[in-house]
Amino acid sequence: MSKRRNSNNKLYLVFLVIALLFYIVYYGTSFGKYLNSNTSDNISNVNTTSSISSEDITSTTSLVNENTTGNIRVHYIDVGQADSEFIELPNGESILIDAGETEDGELVTNYIKSLGYTKINYVIGTHPHEDHIGGMSYVLNNFDFDNIYMPNATTTTKTFENLLDTIASKNKTITEGKAGVYLINQSDLKAYMVAPVSSSYSDLNSYSIVLKITYKNKSFLFMGDATKLSENEITDDVSSDVIKVGHHGSSTASGPSFVVKVKPSIAIISVGKDNKYNLPSSDVIKRWEKVGAKVYRTDENGTIIVTSDGNSLDVSTEK
């Protein structure tokens, strides 16, 4: 009897060791694969992982919480007919650009929290339209934040006034966002504004803060709802590998000469399914494709994540 139990115990131990080995091999390789996926030097290939489930997105981003990968990771959050991008920087800091409509505040908050963040270093409200700053008050009430940037534009909406109240209640002051303002200026990592260039415009969209981020050999451009007028005023180098296309793919933005100057390999349009504005414009899509960009859209792809080690780019989509 005791002998039999002894052999059972041995068997049990053998199983335990095998299970442990499987565990180590499985997690060891998937983590290793993640760390090494972008180490190829000086190539600008775009590795596309399409059709991964939101479960996959959650599991990959959970690795980034530790932010030991040395990668920049940009989340183009699907907020329907609105805009919101969250950027995990390789230095461990973070940037939030816009927060969707008022009703999206909770979604954006939960998304950022799911990545493990309790603080956002830099918050940008590109311009005071509802579909960009609507959810911002909710987000700011749920995170610590260091700096908030908005253009020198005002509007009389309740949403805008609520946002100003929230910022004041946190004892923060708004820094004016305009061309030439730097968030980060390190040798390998820069984040700076290239627009708005003028001090006043007749429409709020033209006030949009346009942010450029460069990390080693790769760059990202975030247009807000900047118009062709604003695009034409920009004097900084706008060439970028990835662009968040201006104004939800409307033809009021993405002027032909500007598209040629940016010449990205990836163009992302934040847009709602069957929206009443009939966006994005098919001409605008063709324009970006013509210069070699692969176009992604949040209405078709859901949330889009672009990761880079500064040399290569990797795209994953929710759908």
Provide the binding-site residues for Zn ion, judged by CB under 5 A.
Answer: 131, 225
Q: Give the nearest distance from C-beta 83 to Zn ion in angstroms.
A: 6
Give least dist CB 248 to Zn ion, A.
6
How is residue 101 annotated by DSSP? S
Nearer to Zn ion, 225 or 309 (CB): 225
Cross-strand partners of 211 = 193, 222
**Residue (26 or 277) nearer to Zn ion, CB:** 277
Residue of 53, 104, 54 whose CA lies nearest to 79 = 104
Q: Of 84 and 312, which CB lies nearer to Zn ion in the complex structure? A: 84
Q: How far is the CB of 130 from Zn ion (least distance, A)?
A: 8
Going along the chain, which residue ranges are E strands? 46-49, 72-76, 85-88, 94-97, 119-124, 144-150, 174-176, 182-185, 189-195, 210-215, 218-222, 242-244, 266-269, 294-297, 304-308, 313-317
* Closest to Zn ion by CB, 225 or 241: 225
When the beta carbons of 226 and 315 are compared against Zn ion, the nearer one is 226
Question: Rounded CA gap, 11 and 14, in Å?
Answer: 5
Q: What is the CA radius of gyration of the chain?
A: 22
- The answer to whether residues 208 and 225 touch, using CB atoms and an 8 Å cutoff, is yes
Q: Which of 246, 317, 304 is nearest to 77 (CA)?
A: 304
Nearer to Zn ion, 85 or 131 (CB): 131
Residue with Cβ nearer Zn ion (93 or 225): 225
Query: Which amino acid, one-letter code, is at 28?
Result: G
Instruction: Supply the minimum distance, in Å, between the C-beta of residue 277 and Zn ion.
Output: 10
Provide the pairing of β-strand 119-124 with 94-97.
parallel
Question: Closest distance between Zn ion and the C-beta of residue 71, in Å?
Answer: 28
Residue closer to Zn ion, measured from CB, 225 or 318: 225
Q: Pick the closest to residue 264 from 286, 294, 236, 235 (CA basis).
A: 294
Q: How far is the CB of 85 from Zn ion (least distance, A)?
A: 13
Shortest distance, CB of residue 107 to Zn ion, whole angstroms? 17
- Within 13 Å, how many C-alpha atoms sit on residue 172's CB side? 23
Q: What amino acid occupies position 287? A: R
Please report where in the chains the tokens 């500007």 appear, as a residue: 258
Which residue in the block uniquely carries the two structure tokens 């004892």? 171
The nearest distance, CB 204 to Zn ion, in angstroms, is 10
Phi, psi of 74, deg, nearest 5: -110, 125
